[in-house]
Amino acid sequence: DGGITQSPKYLFRKEGQNVTLSCEQNLNHDAMYWYRQDPGQGLRLIYYSQIVNDFQKGDIAEGYSVSREKKESFPLTVTSAQKNPTAFYLCASSRPGNYEQYFGPGTRLTVT
Amino acid sequence: KQEVTQIPAALSVPEGENLVLNCSFTDSAIYNLQWFRQDPGKGLTSLLLIQSSQREQTSGRLNASLDKSSGRSTLYIAASQPGDSATYLCAVNTGANSKLTFGKGITLSVRP
């Protein structure tokens, strides 16, 4: 059963702590993406990776970091430098090129 | 910079009605356009992908059209059902590393 998994579903952290969100896919897709969704706003791209060991900043990369050591995995770290980290985070993947993107179930992060 | 607009933000219709959801974009140089469905607190489900060379795509009761020159797409839902209640998002791929630009979505409520 192919798909994208994100864990955990809900995450609570204190201000000033770094936190890592997991994203795993078994679709054999080369490209992976991280988006952030806030109420009343469209999804915004944080980081994307077209291939293992390579990634690029999206529109709102400040305060975030990623790694892409394996094709199946693209973890996102929300650092203490991110001013408004509370949001719904969505991971996606696709074949390389301009193909359909598939999304995971999301992680809701709350920072207090 | 590509901008994607979906108006209205919310729509309520009685069950059985045929309806059209609109999406407009400012830059017609797109590779494809994707329509998604999002249920509350969930990830995105891909509904239809239209390549820039195509005029429309159909899946069951859904039909999406694309008019690149005028910067418009519509999602037609036939014989709406309460189970169609969700937020519908439109996203355009401008080809810059397959980056998607999203609209803010239309929240549809189908009344029994």
C-alpha A41/C-alpha A37 separation (Å) is 7
Residue A98 clears pLDDT 70, i.e. is over it: no
CA nearest to B67, candidates B44, B91, B33: B33
Span of A2-6, A31-35, B18-22, B103-107 with lowest mean pLDDT? A2-6
Per-residue pLDDT reduced to its tens digit, B27-37: 999 999 999 99
Interface residue A56 vs chain B (CB under 8 A): yes
The better pLDDT of the pair A85, A42 is held by A85
- Mean pLDDT over each residue of chain A, to the nearest integer: 93
B49, B43, B44: which is closest to B62 by C-alpha? B49
User: What percentage of chain B carries pLDDT values higher than 70?
Assistant: 98
Query: What local confidence, expressed as pLDDT, does residue A41 receive?
Result: 83
Nearest CB to B43: which of A94, A98, A106?
A: A106
- The pLDDT score that the predictor gives to residue B51 is 92
Question: What single-letter DSSP state applies at residue A87?
Answer: E
Interface membership of A41 toward B (CB under 8 Å): yes
Interfacial B residues in 70-89 facing A (CB < 8 Å) = 89
- Contact with chain B for residue A2, Cβ under 8 A: no
Each residue of A38-81: pLDDT tens digit?
988 889 999 999 999 999 999 999 999 999 999 999 999 999 99
Contact flag B98-A31 (C-beta cutoff 8 Å):
yes
pLDDT for the residue B1: 87
Return the pLDDT at A61.
96
Confidence label for B96 from pLDDT (cuts 50, 70 and 90) = low
Per residue in B33-70, pLDDT (tens digit) is 999 999 999 999 999 999 999 999 999 999 999 999 99
Adjacent-strand bridge partners of A102 = A93
Size of interface A-B (CB pairs under 8 A): 61
